[in-house]
Amino acid sequence: MNVIKRNGTEMSFNTEKIVAAIMKANNALPRQELTDSQIREAADYITFKCERLNRAVSVEEIQDMVERQLIAIGASETARAYIKYRYKRYLARKANTTDDRILSIIDTTNEEVKEENSNKNPVIASTQRDYMAGEVSKDLADRILLPEDVVKADKEGIIKFHDKDYFAQHITNCQLVNLKDMLQNGTVISDTLIESPHSFSTACTITTQIVAQVASSQFGGQSISLSHLAPFVDVSRKRIHAKVIKELEGMDVSKERIEEIVESRVRDEVTKGIQTIQYQIITLMTTNGQAPFVTVFMYLNEAENEQERADLALIIEETLKQRYIGVKNEKGVYITPAFPKLIYVTEEDNIHEDSPYWYLTELAIKCTAKRMVPDYISEKMMKKLKDENCFPAMGCRSFLAPWKDENGNYKFYGRFNQGVVTLNLVDVACSAIEPGGDINTFWQILDERLELCHKALRCRHERLLGTKSDIAPILWQHGALARLKPGETIDKLLYGGYSSISLGYAGLWECVYELTHKKLTEPEGEKLGLEIMQRLNDTCDKWKAAENIGYSLYGTPLETTTYTFAKALQKRFGIIKGVTDKAYITNSYHIHVTEEVDAFYKLAQEAKFQAKSLGGCISYVEVPNLQNNLAAVKSIVQFMYDNIMYAELNTKSDFCEKCGFDGEIECVEDENGKLIWKCPNCGCTDQDKLYIVRRTCGYLGVNKWNQGRTEEIKDRVLHL
């Protein structure tokens, strides 16, 4: 016999639950009415009545039977206590804020949710469906899945348990897709066998299908490498060559002319293939109501031979050219797309003006000045920090640690992140100093908070333990991350450092200022900042050694969290000048956005902190429109190569649909003091007609930011 629960699911009938419920009501009385044997008899009788129905019974039916039976045996006080408890639970369910939040999502009245992700439109049905599911997941996490102290700390802004809206499911975070394996050895998509492609264009189409499938099977970002597509250029070349020879059969055509025709057609196919990737990724919508958060990696030294290297250069060239052009919006105007994010690796063969592939870097510089991508990884600097390896971020900034397989070979593609928990460093500092504490108090509280983060991270890890490969076949069975068997668990991939799990941190700038009244740009502030970073690293190393899990230190990309942390700090500590007086706190180790420093100093200074944030980091410099000053962009990019592992340039790429203005759109206050966007040309303040692109937290975002992030964007000063 089964019981129908309130959510519609069924479970086996259990008489002991009836016994426990009656006993709880009986024990709540000053003087108990029933003996244990009487309680047992009442429960057995109710069980008998349920069995006679010869069907599944609902929880409400059983509760009605309990009330009637208690009254029937003369236990009126026990019945009253039982009814009272039942009514309280009814009120609690009725007042469940999750219901209200879900209804507000449907009605698009929930401002917090509407501004949660600058690349998700909260009006469309698929996004609403994802948000609704997220509210249920968060509710389950808070009530059932997470310890009370973790939930409390998360609600108070002491820590951030990221992606709680996906925590109920057994899914992972960011990853490096093993596109090479999937394209060369085949894969399966929607139960359909996809064999190794016989042309570059087909490889591009399959790649977009893989990206979409992966995005719908995880949360967070994913990265693919163009080097994995490069071998298929020569596959197309051979096919095209054979076709041209057949077309020209019997004609007197020189070998050189044949090669010209072949290479021209190869270029046409590369152009069409890259166009497929760009437009498919932009127009695809995953099950969570947004384009895939995908990063495309461009690194010449991943090529395995000279032919492949030349073909990879051809692909990179076309990718940069197409991104420079942009994509047309519904008005037919070329705009800057948010995805895919591009990462370009600088190396000896492309960083100097006499380098053989300098023309690619020139294209990258031109594209950056107009479209804010690509971002730049320095092979030189990354190799110093990553055991002579260079590889992409997983998404926008999450980096793996070097790891070797059983043959002693380094492996990066096919690896992933288990999740992130972020520590609010500003709260640690304020908690230590405000009651009259000192730096020793700070270290003590920091260690306590780190253990709380550790507990939360263990929850993330343990939630994944026992997950079967069947939950996401594209990831675990068909090559994106692994080739596990059906029914096999992913457990072995959660240990040994194969995957990472991230301790995030936020607000190092404000933390140090609260403790010392010095900035990270001053010697005393820098010294303490680096000491704090080292403590975080040492703690991760301690956890890793004890548990064989890949803990790493991660500079959190605070999108909405910058605002929620700031609000929590003001609630707990009031307004502290230079610490809690903004509607945002500073990302990770970054120099404060209002600090007037030049681009080269900022990059050199932040490079010191990047070296201690190897589980995730990215730096940026804010620059004006440099399309007419590409020499300045060149200087910055070459400086990055010699000084910092991973960095980007932020410019502006806005558009007003009302008047066609193509320039920087202003951020102003409306009559209620709310920050809004306004066209400086026509004065338009219709937010739906203004297209504003800014780098929000690693990825580009469009104007759907919360007030804290909008204030932070408004406060940014130029570094050049």
475-519 confidence digits (pLDDT tens)? 999 999 999 999 999 999 999 999 999 999 999 999 999 999 999
Stretch 518-525: mean pLDDT: 97
One domain, residues 362 and 268: yes
Residue 539 CA to its chain's centroid (Å): 23
One domain, residues 342 and 250: yes
% of the chain surpassing 70 pLDDT: 92
Q: How many domains does the chain have?
A: 4
Q: Which amino acid is at 410?
A: Y
User: What confidence category does residue 567 fall into, taking pLDDT thresholds of 50, 70 and 90?
Assistant: confident
Task: Please confirm, yes or no, whether 61 is among the known catalytic residues.
Answer: no
Task: Please confirm, yes or no, whether 394 is among the known catalytic residues.
Answer: yes
User: What confidence category does residue 284 fall into, taking pLDDT thresholds of 50, 70 and 90?
Assistant: confident
Stretch 279-288: mean pLDDT: 75
Stretch 173-184: mean pLDDT: 97
Catalytic hit among 110, 118, 217, 398:
398
Nearest to 149 by CA among 522, 587, 454, 586: 454
Nearest to 279 by CA among 233, 316, 323: 323
Residue, of 512 and 120, whose pLDDT is higher: 512
Catalytic hit among 396, 453, 640, 697:
396
Residues 413/179, Cβ–Cβ less than 8 Å: yes
Catalytic hit among 299, 344, 498, 554:
554
One domain, residues 364 and 307: yes
Residues 361/637, Cβ–Cβ less than 8 Å: yes
Q: Is the pLDDT of residue 289 over 90?
A: no
One domain, residues 351 and 254: yes
Residue, of 570 and 364, whose pLDDT is higher: 364
Average pLDDT, the chain: 91
One domain, residues 346 and 275: yes
Residues 333/691, Cβ–Cβ less than 8 Å: no
Task: Work out the angle between the directed axes of helices 76-94 and 59-72 (0-180°, nearest 10).
Answer: 160
Identify the sign of the CA torsion 367, 369, 372, 378: positive
Task: Please confirm, yes or no, whether 584 is among the known catalytic residues.
Answer: no
Task: Please confirm, yes or no, whether 698 is among the known catalytic residues.
Answer: yes
Residues in the chain: 720
The pLDDT value given to residue 688 = 85
One domain, residues 25 and 133: no
The pLDDT value given to residue 56 = 72
Q: What is the pLDDT of residues 614-668, one digit of tens each?
A: 999 999 999 999 999 999 999 999 999 999 999 999 998 888 989 988 888 999 9
The answer as to whether 681 is a domain residue is yes
One domain, residues 122 and 194: no
The pLDDT value given to residue 101 = 63
Residue at which a domain ends, from 76, 94, 112: 94
Stretch 28-46: mean pLDDT: 92
The pLDDT value given to residue 96 = 58
Long-range contacts of 483-487 (CB under 8 A, 24+ apart): 483/181
Catalytic hit among 559, 606, 648, 711:
559
User: What confidence category does residue 2 fall into, taking pLDDT thresholds of 50, 70 and 90?
Assistant: confident
The pLDDT value given to residue 112 = 55
Strands 222-225 and 294-298: parallel
The answer as to whether 682 is a domain residue is yes
The answer as to whether 369 is a domain residue is yes
User: What confidence category does residue 334 fall into, taking pLDDT thresholds of 50, 70 and 90?
Assistant: confident
Residue 106 CA to its chain's centroid (Å): 24
Residues of the chain by 3-state class (helix, strand, coil), percent to 5: 50, 15, 35
The pLDDT value given to residue 110 = 53
Q: Cα-atom radius of gyration of the chain, to the nearest Å?
A: 29
The answer as to whether 106 is a domain residue is yes
The answer as to whether 481 is a domain residue is no
One domain, residues 49 and 108: no
One domain, residues 374 and 260: yes
Q: What is the pLDDT of residues 442-461, one digit of tens each?
A: 999 999 999 999 999 999 99
One domain, residues 30 and 72: yes
Long-range contacts of 436-442 (CB under 8 A, 24+ apart): 439/515, 442/515
Residues 187/478, Cβ–Cβ less than 8 Å: yes
Residue, of 28 and 123, whose pLDDT is higher: 28
The answer as to whether 647 is a domain residue is no
Residue ranges making up the domain that contains 686:
652-720
Measured distance CA(535)–CA(445) in Å, rounded: 12
One domain, residues 262 and 306: yes
Residue 195 CA to its chain's centroid (Å): 30
Residue at which a domain ends, from 94, 124, 153: 94
Q: What is the pLDDT of residues 59-98, one digit of tens each?
A: 888 998 999 999 999 998 999 888 888 877 776 665 555 6
Q: Is the pLDDT of residue 433 over 60?
A: yes
Residue at which a domain ends, from 94, 121, 156: 94
Q: Determine the 3-state secondary structure of 678 from DSSP.
A: strand
User: What confidence category does residue 288 fall into, taking pLDDT thresholds of 50, 70 and 90?
Assistant: low
Stretch 130-158: mean pLDDT: 88
One domain, residues 263 and 374: yes
Stretch 28-51: mean pLDDT: 91
The answer as to whether 704 is a domain residue is yes
Q: Is the pLDDT of residue 15 over 80?
A: yes
The answer as to whether 307 is a domain residue is yes
Catalytic hit among 26, 110, 137, 173:
173
Measured distance CA(48)–CA(31) in Å, rounded: 29
Task: Please confirm, yes or no, whether 396 is among the known catalytic residues.
Answer: yes
Q: Is the pLDDT of residue 120 over 80?
A: no
Catalytic hit among 50, 65, 390, 394:
394
